[in-house]
Chain A
Amino acid sequence: MICLLVAGFYPAAATGQQPVKLTFWSWRVEDKWAYDKIIQAFQQRNPGIQVEFVPFKATEYNTILSSALTAGKGPDIIHLRAYGGLETFAAPGYIAQLDFDKLPELKTFSRQLLDGARGRKDGKLYGVPFATQSLVIYYNKKIFAQNNLSVPKTWDEFLTVLKTLKDHGVLPLANGGKEGWTLEVMSGVVAPNFYGGTAFYDAVTRGQTSFKDTAYTNALAKMLDLRPYMHPNFMGVDYTTMQQQFINEQAAMFIGGSWEIGFFKAQNKDLDFDIFVAPPSKAGTTPWVSSYNDGNYGVNAKTPYMDAALKFIQFTATREFGQMFTDMLAQLSAVPGVEVRDPILKHVQELSRKATPYIMLVGFRWQAPTGSTLLQSALQGMMAGSKTPEQVGDEVTKGLSAWFEPFQGR
């Protein structure tokens, strides 16, 4: 009898213990279906590990994650934002440190993307970047054809296109100003060509100049050129209304991020759209495109299943993962060498060769008050006409000087 029992238990012990169960927290509620499929592929290859994807509402994610981590709990695998959003959790030691020995796949990732996965203080890696985003201009091809318009090559041509559309009774731009971050995105599209892209970025992040520089404030002033071509009540137009205006073909263009492609397609199958990037002032110059690391997959430093968790995020650094991610979510995977099949996304990839860091997110979101917080509300003032571009530059510089020493006394 005992022999039988022992024999009965033995095979179970031989094939390994209970499968390890990992939890994976994220703010991407709308992507759950894709992650579930990706996890299935991972589990087939790693039968001993089970992963559960648990998404939370994006606006509550940080609060929930902070509370869990400070209480010594939290998931094994953590969907993390990049840059300063990563630093908040990494600097106090809640995220496991990674390096090229643990994850040799990371060696092939672009340096600019890896910078979004590093701690600012120690320069160490804390995650595997998952996507890169670019800021672009979407346009409705049907509306452009109906008005005999083609993609503008220069800023002046762009203004002519906007004017023609307005004269023909079409709302040229879907954009609004009720949510400050959509205005920051707009500045990320418009401004780099006028402030000189990465050269200015390098100078300002090194503290050689500040946002009071006329190069920057004059670039912000270009946003005011667009004001007549937005809805007369655009200051009350929120992000959802912006999206609906473009999806329902009520507006010809939408200035936004490359993350919209999948959503636009899903909402209106008949929407015939493409993208172009912000036109430069002179024809023939390659335009600057703001881009950034969208976020990272990290491992909880206190997870009891470190090896299994590392195995999973190692999987997220493989070409196989990147391909699934790009195909299913219509986003540019951070993994190098992934083949982009979606024509619009491919267009984004081709046009954003001359990428420049999305200035406040990459350079000035490391401590509170962040450059984004300061810029977003100041831009609302500027677009409403109660602040000049110079005042915006002053406010941002003064606010950042609280923690960015080179700006002190400027």
Chain B
Amino acid sequence: MRTSRRMWLVFFLGPATVVFATFITYPILSALAFSMYAWEGIGRRGFIGLANFARLFATFPYSGLLVNAFWHNVLVFVVTMLIQNVTALGLAVLLARSPWGTRGYRVVFFLPVMLSLVIVGFLWALFLNPIFGLVNKFLTLAHAGALARPWLGDASTALLTLIVVNAWRWLGFPTIVFLAGINAVPEEYVEAARIDGAGEWDVIRRIIFPLLAPAVTIIVLLTFIGSFNWFELPYIMQGVSGAPNRATDVLSLLFYRTAFGEVDTGLQDIGIGSAIAVLMFALLLTVSAVGAVLLRRREVELA
């Protein structure tokens, strides 16, 4: 009995483990190795220990670019938490009360999540085009032409615009997760609270939020990982250089640029690129692990 169960485990987990090892573990380990070698173009040269890391931290412009990109990732995480996840929580609370047309709303909120990110990026880049884009046209029609600006070309608005587009795309996902969490709260608890004289806000704050903690843990961790691995949307909408003037540069773009080069612009520096990849991996691993432990602690077990 034991052995056959083990056989089944191997049978089912084996393929996934092999895929994971080849496409995740091996590249991570090879990036770690690459980061400790000298490179000449795409050719690997001698072992140089931590010299690439030293170069990354100590030479202009890499040191500045690294810090710049890191703070952008932090901003992406914080703002996404604030506008995407808080909105999602609000929508979930509203949807949980099953207003008229709940099903319709659920589909509408979730629809952008199913669109390909490439399409979302191209569409919004068109909407935001400063000359013929819908956004500026609409502002002019609404007599708010003074607000019209090159949203993606202005260093002060570019990153925030990308974050908003990203939140538009993803909003449905945390909404559905929170909604499922709220629906899982046993009806008796809510009823008991109501009988004890709790108002609407008290029910949400004292009953629903504490029991929603597992969903919050998942969403916070996924938002964190998503924010620090953020690549596709800025790449599609702004290109690989974090334009304008590094205003939308994030760690993944910086990594991609240094490891693979920019077409007709920059050359690759695989040593520095790998060093960035290793740092990103270490950061994600540590923060996710610590975050998971801390967030789990405040989850309440349902009896």
Contact = CB atoms under 8 A, between A and B. Distances in A.
A376 B265 CA distance: 9
Contact of B153 (A63, A235, A378, A387): A235
Contact of B128 (A63, A236, A372): A236
B267 A61 contact: no
A114 B78 CA distance: 52
B48 to A, nearest CB: 16
A241 B125 CA distance: 11
A266 interface: no
A89 B41 contact: yes
Interface in A84-107: 84-85, 87-94
A160 interface: no
Contacts of A92: 40-43
Interface stretch (B184-192, B241-249, B276-284): B241-249
Nearest to A93: B43
A231 interface: yes
Interface in B250-275: 258, 260-269, 272
A380 B268 contact: no
A365 interface: yes
A150 interface: no
Interface stretch (B69-77, B97-105, B129-137): B129-137
Interface stretch (A37-45, A200-208, A394-402): A394-402
A27 B263 CA distance: 10
B226 interface: no
Contact of B265 (A89, A373, A384): A373
A301 to B, nearest CB: 12
Given A92-B42, A237-B131, A377-B243, A62 B153 contact: no
B197 interface: no
Interface stretch (B112-120, B144-152, B293-301): B144-152
A66 interface: yes
Contacts of B79: none
B144 to A, nearest CB: 15
Contact of A66 (B132, B242, B268): B268
B60 interface: yes
A91 B245 contact: no
B262 A373 contact: yes
Interface stretch (A151-159, A177-185, A212-220, A278-286): A177-185
A181 B129 contact: no
A233 B264 contact: no
Contacts of A378: 245
B267 A368 contact: yes
B94 to A, nearest CB: 35
B14 to A, nearest CB: 27
A89 B61 contact: no
B4 to A, nearest CB: 41
A149 to B, nearest CB: 23
B260 to A, nearest CB: 5
B258 to A, nearest CB: 7
Contact of A236 (B151, B240, B266, B268): B151
Given A62-B263, A84-B267, A373-B241, A178 B40 contact: no
A398 B154 CA distance: 25
Contacts of A399: 60-61
Interface string B52-63: 000000011110
A91 B148 contact: no
Interface in B13-44: 40-43
Nearest to A88: B41
Given A368-B267, A384-B155, A233 B60 contact: no
A178 B152 contact: yes
A62 B267 CA distance: 10
Contacts of B125: 238
Contacts of B240: 59
B239 interface: yes
Contacts of B155: 380-381, 384, 386
B243 A91 contact: no
Contact of B266 (A177, A373, A386): A373
Nearest to B262: A373
Given A88-B261, A91-B41, A236-B149, 15 more contacts: A59-B263, A62-B263, A66-B260, A180-B243, A233-B136, A235-B130, A236-B130, A237-B130, A237-B153, A369-B61, A370-B267, A377-B243, A381-B155, A386-B155, A395-B61
30 contacts: A59-B263, A66-B42, A85-B264, A88-B268, A91-B40, A91-B41, A177-B153, A178-B238, A178-B243, A180-B265, A233-B131, A233-B136, A233-B150, A236-B129, A236-B151, A236-B153, A237-B150, A237-B153, A241-B132, A365-B267, A367-B267, A367-B269, A368-B267, A368-B269, A373-B262, A377-B245, A384-B244, A386-B155, A386-B245, A402-B59
Interface of B: 40-43, 59-62, 125, 128-132, 136, 148-155, 238-246, 258, 260-269, 272
